[in-house]
Structure 1
């Protein structure tokens, strides 16, 4: 009985440890292995590169699996289209105080250098991060864990970089329609004249994107304490106005449309008046021409024309 008990206590854990000590990675992940045996320390044992074969990782060791492929972080107004649940837009102020909604995507990849990965796991693989849903997870705990890491560590850097760069431009320099609101007078003060230039707006948006691309990589390195992310690139897809400002823009566009319509009617009326004036001058010079035009304008169902003075003119051949 003692022998059986010894086999159960020692043998079963040993068998489990042997089979649990074999592992491999898929094509889209890299793994950092940490010691976990009964008498081992908890230091990093090894790094297993993507798409490995079966590898011996030691008894009771643990594997922290991280994404090895290019990843992205999207901020968008499309419901559930970004990294956070629901609508996710970075709202930052322009230099003239208008809140601007920024949408875009950050692309990056985890540095697969083994020594760098070991440092990354020491700094971020041994703690948990609170995701947008409030749940604490490890960075290596699947897609949810990785997203929690990005949301708590990377997102503040994104917000800060966008705030700094957008603040270098006025609202109308990024969104042309913003000028429709700023051109209107407020509280009896003269309107602020802002020129609408769509081509310049596109150029300014490209400047914001380029500036973020220059600053973001260095800011991420400083924040993380190492060059853990590589191939960082940002695509700015859209700049929007807050709902209240956009409504003001829509109202202004509708008002301008009504003004344009009224101006068109004024122009048409003036043209008609000028034409009538010229026509009357012609009739004064040629009274017979006036009578001829009158005859031409008589409806076809009228058979007799009575111009007055007891005179009648038959309008048929009979």
Structure 2
């Protein structure tokens, strides 16, 4: 009996030792799993996130962003690249590499600014005109210029028309906010400077209808001006293209945009001026209609006179024409009756 008790005690002691040996193994596995999640997963994410590529319509500026690294520009990735190593925790600023445009229009919802958006500037003779158009341009893809652009504008935020702030590389919203806050004032200033060099009638022919001049001369001037408006508009566009390129380079602090072209789409007059033009055109239309009636009456009178002269020279011809004018079915005709011709039907 004593031997059996001793053997049972030994078995229990052995089981206790085995249980104690297994317990540290479970704790070690749990600790290792936690460390893998806490430490290993971020490391793996950083390793896989250390690669970047660009699409066909974008170019990227990469800045250092590690825990112990500086924030200087590391590299520039050209459009349509493959996977490129950019380092751990680097920041990527992607910019548009294709042609961009900025639209100013009275058609709500189609312009870059919400609602009706028209630049109102005075002509040289003091008529306020609404200018609508589109500016086309391309971001300079030279690496050195792009680095300077990112240093100047990629490190700050811009307020949009809706009041929110965005980085210039935050997609279309960020790009639009940058254009509204930095580029739009330059466009407005150039339009004001160039439009102020032309008279209203040189850009809008109907202005000649309501300016100080006599009515016939107004009509003639409007007809002549309609033929030359396109030439003046082309001059405005060429002047704007030249001045915008210089002013944007000076304002932005570098040649950051290229291939600049402004397309002047439409010029509108103030509502009161346009109403006056409409009334003048209606009045001139009535004058033209009256003149046409006078000309018609003169032509008819001249024709009647010529006809009567012919009858005077040929009384028989007059009698023949008179008979032709009689109604159909007349059997008796008495032209000598003092009470009038005697007409009898069949």
Match of 1:146 in 2: 175
Give the stretch that moved more between structures: 75-84 or 43-52.
75-84
Cα distance in structure 2, aligned partners of 1:285 and 1:8: 123
Cα distance in structure 1, aligned partners of 2:318 and 2:150: 98
How big is the shift at 1:62? 1.2
SS in 2 for 1:101: strand
Asked if 1:227 corresponds to 2:262, the answer is: no
Query: CA distance change for structure 1 residues 171 and 3 in 2, over 3 Å: closer, same or farther?
Result: same
Cα distance in structure 1, aligned partners of 2:166 and 2:264: 29
Match of 1:170 in 2: 199
Match of 1:113 in 2: 142
Partners of 1:33 and 1:61 within 8 A in 2: yes
Q: 1:280 pairs with 299, 308, 313, which one?
A: 308
Give the stretch that moved more between structures: 220-229 or 83-92.
83-92
Query: CA distance change for structure 1 residues 311 and 199 in 2, over 3 Å: closer, same or farther?
Result: closer
How big is the shift at 1:73? 1.6
Query: CA distance change for structure 1 residues 310 and 88 in 2, over 3 Å: closer, same or farther?
Result: closer
The ranges of structure 1 where at least 4 consecutive aligned residues each deviate by more than 6 angstroms after the TM superposition are 190-193, 310-316
1:123-142 matched pairs, under 5 angstroms: 123-142=152-171
Q: 2:328 pairs with 276, 292, 300, which one?
A: 300
How big is the shift at 1:194? 4.7
SS in 1 for 2:333: strand
SS in 2 for 1:91: strand
Query: CA distance change for structure 1 residues 238 and 310 in 2, over 3 Å: closer, same or farther?
Result: closer
Query: CA distance change for structure 1 residues 282 and 193 in 2, over 3 Å: closer, same or farther?
Result: closer
Query: CA distance change for structure 1 residues 158 and 294 in 2, over 3 Å: closer, same or farther?
Result: same
Partners of 2:113 and 2:161 within 8 A in 1: yes
User: How far does the alpha carbon of each residue in 1:76-116 deviate from its partner, in whole angstroms, 9 at most, with x for none?
Assistant: 33332222223333222111111222232222111112221
Asked if 1:207 corresponds to 2:235, the answer is: yes
User: How far does the alpha carbon of each residue in 1:253-272 deviate from its partner, in whole angstroms, 9 at most, with x for none?
Assistant: 22211111111111212222
How big is the shift at 1:211? 0.7
Partners of 1:183 and 1:194 within 8 A in 2: no
Q: Compare the two structures and name the one with the higher helix fraction.
A: 2
User: How far does the alpha carbon of each residue in 1:167-186 deviate from its partner, in whole angstroms, 9 at most, with x for none?
Assistant: 11101001111111225679
Match of 1:39 in 2: 68
Match of 1:21 in 2: 50
User: How far does the alpha carbon of each residue in 1:172-213 deviate from its partner, in whole angstroms, 9 at most, with x for none?
Assistant: 001111111225679xxx989955322321111111111111
How big is the shift at 1:9? 3.6
Q: 1:249 pairs with 265, 270, 277, which one?
A: 277
Query: CA distance change for structure 1 residues 193 and 160 in 2, over 3 Å: closer, same or farther?
Result: farther
Query: CA distance change for structure 1 residues 302 and 7 in 2, over 3 Å: closer, same or farther?
Result: same
- Structure 1 or 2, whichever has the larger Rg, is 2
How big is the shift at 1:300? 1.3
Cα distance in structure 2, aligned partners of 1:36 and 1:304: 118
